[in-house]
Structure formats: C-alpha cells, structure tokens
Structure 1
Amino acid sequence: MAFEPEISNWKNRRNFESLEWKKWVESENTMSVRWDMRNDLLKRHNLVGMSTKEIIFLLGEPDSKSKFNMHYNLGMARFGIDTGYLDLTIKENKVTKVNIGHG
C-alpha cells in the first residue's frame, strides 16, 4: 500500500506551534516533534511567497542556510532510522519552493 506510512503515522500528527518548533531540542522524548508538526505547518501556513524574515519569525533560525536555501532538521521521521528535513528554496529573499523529505 503506497500510503501506509502516512496512514499508520496519523496518530502521531500534532498541531504546529511556532514557539515549540523554535525551542525544540532533539531528545529521546522529543525526537519527532517537528516531524509530527510538518503537515499542520504546511496546512496552516503557505510558506511559498513568504520572506526570509517571515520564515525566521515563524520557524526560528534555520539549522543551515545559504543565499538560496534554508534548511531545518525535523528529527526522527518515524521511518526506521530516517531523519526528516524541511528545505526552503530562496530567490530574492522569498521562498519559491518547499521540500519535506526523509532519508
């Protein structure tokens, strides 16, 4: 079944909370907090078109960044030992593309 991981992880989804996202420190008890918020984040906030300042206000400083990219670690992705990530492509200080993945 192609959608099995999303269906089986439905119970682990949680509402996006900006402050909780920004203060997140990966530990045994919180290793998937950001991963579990990702769907609600995308549902409630249209990141494409936001300025880099708006993104930092919403998500905090990225774990790494360049002129063209902002990268956020999402912790354990609930797919074995995979970790998740949120990559934002930046052009002229605006988000042009959002990519969430794991590996």
Structure 2
Amino acid sequence: MKIISIALLTFIILIFGLSGKLTHEKFDSKKWRNADQNLEENWSIRWDMMNSLRNEHELIGKSYEEIIKILGTPDNENKSELYYSLGYTGNGINTGNLKIEINAEKKVTNIKVSEG
C-alpha cells in the first residue's frame, strides 16, 4: 500500500509539472527584450520564459512605463492593450501571444497568454 501511495504522489507531482506549474527558463528581462525571434535559437525563448514571468513577477498594477522597462516595446499596441509575440510554443507550429490589458490610467489590469 505504501508503494502505491508513493507512486500516486509521484504521478500527481508530474502532472503539475507537465501542466506548466514549473518554470522552464528563468525570466530574464534583457534576454526577452533583445530576443531576435527571426533567429532559430530564439524561436521559443519568450514562450519558455512565460511561466517564470507570470509566477515571479506581478504585472497587474504596473504602469505602462514599467512594462516597457521590463518587456521592451510591444510588437503591437492600442489604447487599451499591448501585444508581445511569444514565438513557438513547442506544440507543432503553434505560436503564443501575450496580451496585456491597460486602463485609462495606463495601469495593467489583466494579462492573457494565448496559443494558436
């Protein structure tokens, strides 16, 4: 019975690890900002850092200027949203995007990561 309990616990830990609860690459602001996604070695660098960014850096409440300092110039933006390309996700040819929603005071209200 003890062996079954240990095996079950190990299985649960693996499930959490594979579902993105564990970070892949530590977020590095300089690497993120300077990643030339046209180079093959950088195709997934932002995607690989995304879990670390979300888990270790609270973006909600930060100002527009703070976000630019951390992530650099967005790939696209409008009055209420900033968009960053995350590159390839590792799931076939899917790519990821980070959408940062900002309010009229230029403060982050929400972040969304999408894959598609």
TM-score relative to the length of structure 2:
0.79
Q: Does 1:39 align with 2:86?
A: no
Q: Does 1:89 align with 2:101?
A: yes
- The verdict on how the C-alpha distance between 1:50 and 1:78 changes in structure 2, with shifts beyond 3 A counting, is same
Partner of 1:50: 62
| Aligned mates of 2:91, 2:18 — CA distance in 1 | 13
- The verdict on how the C-alpha distance between 1:11 and 1:48 changes in structure 2, with shifts beyond 3 A counting, is closer
Structure 2: gaps of 5 or more residues: 1-14
1:61-76 counterparts in 2 under 5 A?
Answer: 61-76=73-88
TM-score relative to the length of structure 1:
0.88
Decide whether the 8 Å contact of 2:22 with 2:51 is kept in 1.
Answer: no
Larger fraction in helix: 2
Decide whether the 8 Å contact of 2:98 with 2:113 is kept in 1.
Answer: yes
The root-mean-square deviation of aligned C-alpha atoms, in Å, is 2.2
Shift in Å, 1:8: 7.8
Q: CA offsets per residue over residues 46-87 of structure 1, 9 Å max, x none?
A: 111000000000000100011100000000011111100100
| Aligned mates of 2:107, 2:94 — CA distance in 1 | 29
| Aligned mates of 1:78, 1:10 — CA distance in 2 | 16
Partner of 1:23: 34
| Aligned mates of 1:95, 1:9 — CA distance in 2 | 23
Larger fraction in strand: 1
Shift in Å, 1:10: 8.3
SS for the counterpart of 1:87 is: strand
Structure 1: gaps of 5 or more residues: none
- The verdict on how the C-alpha distance between 1:45 and 1:12 changes in structure 2, with shifts beyond 3 A counting, is closer
Number of residues paired by the alignment? 100
Decide whether the 8 Å contact of 2:64 with 2:108 is kept in 1.
Answer: yes
SS for the counterpart of 1:56 is: helix
- The verdict on how the C-alpha distance between 1:79 and 1:36 changes in structure 2, with shifts beyond 3 A counting, is same
Which letter maps to 2:25?
A: R
